[in-house]
Amino acid sequence: MVPVTEGRERGHEEIVTWNGAPVRAWVPDVLAIQDFEVGMRTARHTEQAVAAVRISRGALARFKPLALLLLRAEGVASSHIEGLRTPLAAVAAAEVGNTSNATAAWVADNLTAVRYALDGAGRDLAVEDLHEWHRHLMGPTGRLPEEMVGDFRTAQSWIGGTSPRNASFVPPPPERVADLMDDLVDFVNAERVDAVTQAAVAHAQFEIVHPYGDGNGRIGRILIGWILAHRTGITVPPPVSVFIARDPGGYLAGMTRFRLGELDPWVDWLAAELQYSSEAAEALLVRSEQLLKEWSRRINDLRADAAARLVLPILVEQPVVSSDLIADRAAVSERAARAALALLAERGILEPYERAMNRPGRPRHLWVASELISMATSWGPAGDFDRTQAPGGSGGPSTR
């Protein structure tokens, strides 16, 4: 193994030809030959982060409906980083069939990819798994040509700028991608280092290789969650994208320092974000439980078998609902479901969302639990992530 000391770049520039002109692309060193031992201070921080992640696992076991809410917050934030900005309520509506918001549908595809990836966290990773994540991410709403979905890019890509000649970063040429990704998958499965260091290194290397024509930032962040789930046994990782979106400068600086040979600052940054997001997830759990109790208080006068009571736990998992969804999930008639939703609106628990024409005939009436949506998008001291500027993620023209 060839150790990379602080200050020694983890790769080299290589001249490639783009549209007949020479440009400089960055080719990272393979991970198999590198040493990723961190200092004592960083090691302590990674241990604290893993402990916080495991504590959040217990919290989710106590209140399982919160899991999907966390996944949705992660999907919204990850897409937000890429410039796909849409309210969480619109994404939840897209999940129940409202196709009126195209951006929300794209973000819902992100959530589908996250779920699919986590479902496979119990086994080792394969390159084909990454391709399948990409297929789910691009989905029917994807904006890539079909031949580029679920396969590595075959053309030179760049980040920022209008071409590789004025880009802020030029990833390796396409003929290098397959070998670099085989090496990355081997590193992920080998478990040579702690879970946080592994997630930090794998994510950074993935973003440097930039293997796909689009969606690299989102797939790279899914990889962080997959590694944490694989290594710690959690079913839902902390929504780290929420906090990456709030510190884009720290994220980009850490990634750059990693590429230039400084491991500890990048791992330390990610450890802090994971600990913070895990603690925030616990706080969200407490607030969700309190909100559910408050909702129960508002309908305390109803009979114990009232359909409205059956709706409350469904709302925590699915904050935008329709009468047909409630009828199916609560095993009641659609007439009873409509009455329950109207009653919950009278009690201030639901609000009309919009009428979505997603099928012939009568418009479908959707209801939203606005208090829960507000809580899920404004957690933590930094306020909601709509106040931040996206750091670019996969950035700029991805493949030309």
Task: Based on the fold, state whether residues 160 and 271 are members of the same structural domain.
Answer: yes
φ/ψ region of 21 (left if φ > 0, alpha if ψ in -120 to 50, else beta) reads beta
Minimum mean pLDDT range among 4-8, 276-280, 306-310: 4-8
Distance, in Å, from the CA atom of 237 to the CA atom of 221, rounded to the nearest integer, reads 11
> Which residue among 250, 283, 316 closes a domain?
283
What CATH number has the domain bearing residue 34?
1.10.3290.10
- Domain assignment of residue 193, yes or no: yes
Instruction: Give the residue with greater pLDDT, 107 vs 183.
Output: 183
Task: Based on the fold, state whether residues 197 and 279 are members of the same structural domain.
Answer: yes
- Which sign, positive or negative, has the C-alpha torsion 194, 195, 199, 205? positive
Task: Based on the fold, state whether residues 239 and 335 are members of the same structural domain.
Answer: no
What value does the mean pLDDT take over residues 311-320?
87
pLDDT score for 61: 64
- Domain assignment of residue 84, yes or no: yes
Q: Please say if the pLDDT value at position 259 is more than 60.
A: yes
pLDDT score for 360: 47
Residue pair 316/66 in contact (Cβ under 8 Å)? The answer is: yes
DSSP code of residue 99: -
- Domain assignment of residue 49, yes or no: yes
Q: Please say if the pLDDT value at position 131 is more than 70.
A: yes
pLDDT score for 242: 74
> Which residue among 256, 283, 310 closes a domain?
283
- Domain assignment of residue 101, yes or no: yes
What value does the mean pLDDT take over residues 45-55?
92
Q: What is the mean pLDDT of the chain?
A: 83
Residue pair 259/252 in contact (Cβ under 8 Å)? The answer is: no
The domain in which residue 315 lies consists of 299-376
Minimum mean pLDDT range among 103-107, 108-112, 197-201, 275-279: 103-107
Distance, in Å, from the CA atom of 325 to the CA atom of 169, rounded to the nearest integer, reads 46
pLDDT score for 399: 35
- Domain assignment of residue 399, yes or no: no
Neighbours of 149 (CB within 10 A): 20
Minimum mean pLDDT range among 115-119, 138-142, 275-279: 138-142
What CATH number has the domain bearing residue 304?
1.10.10.10
- Domain assignment of residue 159, yes or no: yes
- The alpha-helical segments, DSSP class H, found in the chain are 40-62, 66-81, 88-95, 102-119, 127-138, 174-190, 195-209, 216-232, 240-244, 248-259, 263-298, 307-317, 323-330, 334-346, 370-376
φ/ψ region of 125 (left if φ > 0, alpha if ψ in -120 to 50, else beta) reads beta
Task: Based on the fold, state whether residues 217 and 359 are members of the same structural domain.
Answer: no
Instruction: Give the residue with greater pLDDT, 227 vs 354.
Output: 227
Q: Which two tokens stand for residue 199?
A: 């997630």
pLDDT score for 251: 92
Distance, in Å, from the CA atom of 304 to the CA atom of 301, rounded to the nearest integer, reads 9
Task: Based on the fold, state whether residues 327 and 232 are members of the same structural domain.
Answer: no
How sure is the predictor about 222, in pLDDT bands with cuts at 50, 70 and 90? very high
Number of domains in the chain: 2
Q: Please say if the pLDDT value at position 162 is more than 80.
A: yes
pLDDT score for 64: 62
| Crossing angle of helices 307-317 and 66-81, rounded to 10° | 40
Q: Please say if the pLDDT value at position 50 is more than 90.
A: yes
Q: Return the top range by mean pLDDT from 63-67, 123-127, 248-252.
A: 123-127
How sure is the predictor about 388, in pLDDT bands with cuts at 50, 70 and 90? very low
Percentage of residues of the chain with pLDDT beyond 70:
79
Total-model pTM: 0.82
Task: Based on the fold, state whether residues 123 and 246 are members of the same structural domain.
Answer: yes
Residue pair 49/272 in contact (Cβ under 8 Å)? The answer is: yes
58-99 tens-digit pLDDT: 766 666 666 667 777 666 666 666 665 666 677 677 767 665
CA 89 to chain centre: 17
Task: Based on the fold, state whether residues 202 and 242 are members of the same structural domain.
Answer: yes
φ/ψ region of 322 (left if φ > 0, alpha if ψ in -120 to 50, else beta) reads beta
- Domain assignment of residue 212, yes or no: yes
Instruction: Give the residue with greater pLDDT, 49 vs 109.
Output: 49
